């Protein structure tokens, strides 16, 4: 146990290596019994501790700690000789008064006590213009001296009311007391017999002019607003309208001949059946629409808003206090504490300073009295005029506030009604505009023209309309022009991606085939116009109206080709404008083709498919049209288009020799072999003769 106690005893020894300056302290929460804790291994002997600190010092750890955690030096305020001297001096006044005097005289803290006292007694402008100092010097602590302080101050004071006061000696030296006590002694204590009247008179010389401006302006404002309330005929008419409508709404037992201003606050609480409009909104709308000459009351009584928080009784009290203060100062100068200058301090100039301003102050007090009387009379009369009790303190305080609240609510109702009316007008204008647009659209549709959107206006839109109107209407005319143009250029159609074949000398049969294919493509889809413009050509098939088309082709010129392009573009614009109709037309055409293919596959024409080995049978193209072609170009074209789509999904791709498989119609299947020429019993499969 002795060996365990030894380390704890040695830990109290300080090592020889200590910081050169004071460092910040770490406040430990010490372990009571470190022998049985982890800290038992750190309970080193003094020699081991010295060795450890020496090692830390060599590594520079202790120097870094001393540099980083150096404690700031604390300066002791009041440690100078003057502070010690102040502590040695005697303090008589209370600590609170001592502190307040230091605060009030902070601007003059560097001045000696005698200089501050001289400035106060001489009534310097620095003292009179400093509102903080003047307020402090008028406090009751300086005007009324406690008895215990009076007993302690008496040996240091001098009685200025007695004979030969200036030559009399003080019993004790005032230098023994503090600076604040000396200021208190030379001013409030020795001049206490006229100190309160003195400071009141000096304060009046600086405050009577601004106070007069402030109070008189308020009095005149009350008189002006009261007169405006009495003279406003429009306000009386509005209140009468409110009374009439209210009596109309009330039952017989709730009829009234007049109401107090407090009832105006309830106008905004009565709402309509939809909880949207209040009674105040209704009255404002009626006045604005039916009696616009009454709206001027808002400007007539607008002054109540500025004085709604004004307490008229407090204003009257302030005016009376102002008048009484001037009277009291004048009485002090005439026969009061300020009437005998012999009792003043020999250097006190209060009498000269105050007398300079009293003449003007008396005149302002008389004028203030007139303003006050006029205000009281006007205010009492206007309250009685509007049915209020002028003896009720609450009614006097809230009279202007009630009218101001009514005026503000009226302005809010006006803004609300105007906004609702503007919104209603916009809605009506929008509905009228929609009705007009619908009427115009119906008229345009009845006239055979497509309805135009409201946004289509301007030179470009009118030009597009003219171009649409000039576009050709007959689809067969466009078909003939396109077929003739293709014959003039190529005479034969070639599948996309294959080599252009040489144009043979004889073009009659192939031209007829082009005619039939063009007609078929035009009926099947509206997109064949783009295919013709980009010159993507398809394989030739059998046609029927080659003779008529050959005659038309000789009459087509280059200008007609350009016109055909423009017509195609305009037709595309029309199709885009009516996209839904085009989509339905395309879907119907596709469905029709699909049904025809199904009928053709499931019918007696099943032998038109390829042979079992996948090869395509080739037959020479007949030079005379079949009976199926005599049914017309449209029927033949539809049949050829469907056959081409069936064959395209089944035939192999031949790079150099275009092949087309035409499925004959039902009529072709049942005709005799002599009508079509030699046939092997299978559907008609034709291959174009090679070049």
Spatial separation of the C-alpha atoms in residues 589 and 202, rounded to whole Å: 112
For the ranges 83-87, 119-123, 271-275, 513-517, the lowest mean pLDDT is seen at 513-517
CA dihedral 214, 218, 219, 222 (to 10 degrees): 170
**What pLDDT was estimated at residue 603?**
63
The highest-confidence range among 78-82, 332-336, 544-548, by mean pLDDT, is 332-336
Does residue 659 lie in a domain region? no
The alpha carbon of residue 120 and the mean position of all alpha carbons in its chain are separated, in whole angstroms, by 59
Q: Within this chain, do residues 333 and 415 fall inside the same structural domain, yes or no?
A: yes
Does residue 114 lie in a domain region? yes
- Which of these three, 420, 454, 475, is where a domain ends? 420
Spatial separation of the C-alpha atoms in residues 332 and 353, rounded to whole Å: 14
- Encode pLDDT of 141-195 as tens digits: 999 999 999 999 999 988 888 777 777 888 889 899 999 999 999 999 999 999 9
Sequence-ordered list of residues with C-beta below 8 angstroms from that of 572, at least 6 positions apart, any chain: 529
Q: Within this chain, do residues 176 and 267 fall inside the same structural domain, yes or no?
A: no
Mapped onto helix, strand or coil, the DSSP state of residue 170 is: coil
Q: What does the angle CA 189 – CA 195 – CA 199 come to, to the nearest 5 degrees?
A: 135
Q: Within this chain, do residues 348 and 285 fall inside the same structural domain, yes or no?
A: yes
**What pLDDT was estimated at residue 238?**
93
Q: Within this chain, do residues 180 and 243 fall inside the same structural domain, yes or no?
A: no
Instruction: Check: CB of residue 202 under 8 Å from CB of residue 357.
Output: no
Q: How many domains does the chain have?
A: 2
686-687 and 659-660 beta bridge pairing: antiparallel
Q: DSSP for 394-442?
A: HHHHHHHHHHHHHHHHHHHHHHHHHHHHHHHHHHHHHHHHHHHHHHHHH
Alpha helices in 498-543 (DSSP H): 508-524, 528-533
Range of the domain at 334: 210-420
- Encode pLDDT of 612-624 as tens digits: 344 433 444 444 4
Does residue 225 lie in a domain region? yes
pTM over 0.85: no
Domain at 389, CATH number: 1.20.58.2220
Q: Within this chain, do residues 214 and 173 fall inside the same structural domain, yes or no?
A: no
Q: Within this chain, do residues 320 and 411 fall inside the same structural domain, yes or no?
A: yes
pLDDT band for position 653 (cuts 50, 70, 90): very low
Q: Within this chain, do residues 127 and 229 fall inside the same structural domain, yes or no?
A: no
Does residue 295 lie in a domain region? yes
For residue 194, report the phi and psi dihedrals to the nearest 5 degrees: -140, 15
Q: Within this chain, do residues 392 and 292 fall inside the same structural domain, yes or no?
A: yes
**What pLDDT was estimated at residue 482?**
78
Spatial separation of the C-alpha atoms in residues 241 and 598, rounded to whole Å: 86
Q: Within this chain, do residues 124 and 223 fall inside the same structural domain, yes or no?
A: no
Count of positions (residues) in the chain: 691
Q: Within this chain, do residues 312 and 410 fall inside the same structural domain, yes or no?
A: yes
Spatial separation of the C-alpha atoms in residues 388 and 380, rounded to whole Å: 9
Start-to-end CA distance of the chain, whole Å, equals: 128
For the ranges 181-185, 313-317, 484-488, 533-537, the lowest mean pLDDT is seen at 533-537
Instruction: Check: CB of residue 643 under 8 Å from CB of residue 685.
Output: no
Does residue 158 lie in a domain region? yes
Spatial separation of the C-alpha atoms in residues 403 and 409, rounded to whole Å: 10
Q: Within this chain, do residues 400 and 340 fall inside the same structural domain, yes or no?
A: yes
Does residue 401 lie in a domain region? yes
Average pLDDT value for residue range 97-110: 92
- Encode pLDDT of 188-233 as tens digits: 999 999 999 999 999 999 999 999 999 999 999 999 999 999 999 9
């Amino acid at each position: 146990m002795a060996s365990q106690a030894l380390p704890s005893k040695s830990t109290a020894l300080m090592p020889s290596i200590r910081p050169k300056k004071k460092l910040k302290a770490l406040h430990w929460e010490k372990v009571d019994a470190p022998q049985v804790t982890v800290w038992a291994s750190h309970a080193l002997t003094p020699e081991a501790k010295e060795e450890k600190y020496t090692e830390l010092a060599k590594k520079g750890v202790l120097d870094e700690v001393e540099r980083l955690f150096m404690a700031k030096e604390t300066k002791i305020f009041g440690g100078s000789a003057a502070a010690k001297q102040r502590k040695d001096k005697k303090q008589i006044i209370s600590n609170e008064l001592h502190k307040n005097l230091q605060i009030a005289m902070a601007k003059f803290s560097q001045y000696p006590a005698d200089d501050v006292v001289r400035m106060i007694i001489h009534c310097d402008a620095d003292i009179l213009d400093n509102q903080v100092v003047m307020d402090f010097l008028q406090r009751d602590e300086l005007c009324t001296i406690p008895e215990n302080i009076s007993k302690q101050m008496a040996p240091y004071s001098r009685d200025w009311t007695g004979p030969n006061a200036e030559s009399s000696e003080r019993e004790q030296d005032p230098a023994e007391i503090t600076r604040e006590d000396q200021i208190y002694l030379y001013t409030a204590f020795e001049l206490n017999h006229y100190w309160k009247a003195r400071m009141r008179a000096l304060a009046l010389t600086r405050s009577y002019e601004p106070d007069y401006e402030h109070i008189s302006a308020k009095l005149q404002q009350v008189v002006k607003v009261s007169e405006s309330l009495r003279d406003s005929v429009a306000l009386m008419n509005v209140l009468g309208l409110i009374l009439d409508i209210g009596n109309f709404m009330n039952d017989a037992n709730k009829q009234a001949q007049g109401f107090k201003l407090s009832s105006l606050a309830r106008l905004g609480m009565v709402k309509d059946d939809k909880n949207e409009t209040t009674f105040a909104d209704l009255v404002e709308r009626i006045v604005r629409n039916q009696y616009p000459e009454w709206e001027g009351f808002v400007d007539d009584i607008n002054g109540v808003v500025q004085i709604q928080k004004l307490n008229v009784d407090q204003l009257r009290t302030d005016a009376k206090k102002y008048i009484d203060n001037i009277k009291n100062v004048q009485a002090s100068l005439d026969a009061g504490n300020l009437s005998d200058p012999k009792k003043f301090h020999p250097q006190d100039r209060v009498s000269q300073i105050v007398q300079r301003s009293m003449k003007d102050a008396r005149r302002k007090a008389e004028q203030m009295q007139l303003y006050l009387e006029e205000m009281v009379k006007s205010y009492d009369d206007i309250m009685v005029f509007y049915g209020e009790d002028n003896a009720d303190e609450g009614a006097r305080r809230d009279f202007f506030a009630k009218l101001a609240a009514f005026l503000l609510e009226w302005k809010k109702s006006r803004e609300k009604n105007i906004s609702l009316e503007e919104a209603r007008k916009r809605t009506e204008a929008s509905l009228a505009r929609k009705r007009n647009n619908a009427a115009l659209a119906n008229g345009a549709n009845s006239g055979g023209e497509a309805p135009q959107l409201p946004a289509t206006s301007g030179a470009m839109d009118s030009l597009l309309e003219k171009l649409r109107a000039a576009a050709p209407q007959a689809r067969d005319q466009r078909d003939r022009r396109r077929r003739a143009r293709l014959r003039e250029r190529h005479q034969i159609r070639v599948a996309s991606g294959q080599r252009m074949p040489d144009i043979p000398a004889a073009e009659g049969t192939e031209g007829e085939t082009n005619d039939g294919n063009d007609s078929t493509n035009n009926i099947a889809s509206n997109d064949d116009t783009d295919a013709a413009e980009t010159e993507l050509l398809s394989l030739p098939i059998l046609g029927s109206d080659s003779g008529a088309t050959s005659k038309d082709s000789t009459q087509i010129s280059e200008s007609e080709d350009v016109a055909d392009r423009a017509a195609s573009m305009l037709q595309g614009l029309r199709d885009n404008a009516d996209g839904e109709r085009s989509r339905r037309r395309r879907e119907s055409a596709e469905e029709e083709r699909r049904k025809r293919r199904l009928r053709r596959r499931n019918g007696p024409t099943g032998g038109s498919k390829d042979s079992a080995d996948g090869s395509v049978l080739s037959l020479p193209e007949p030079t005379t049209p079949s009976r199926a072609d005599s049914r017309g170009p449209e029927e033949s074209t539809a049949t050829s288009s469907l056959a081409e789509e069936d064959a395209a999904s089944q035939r192999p791709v031949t790079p150099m020799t275009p092949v087309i498989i035409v499925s004959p119609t039902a009529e072709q299947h049942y005709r005799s072999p002599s009508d079509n020429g030699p046939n092997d019993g299978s559907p008609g499969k034709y291959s174009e003769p090679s070049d």
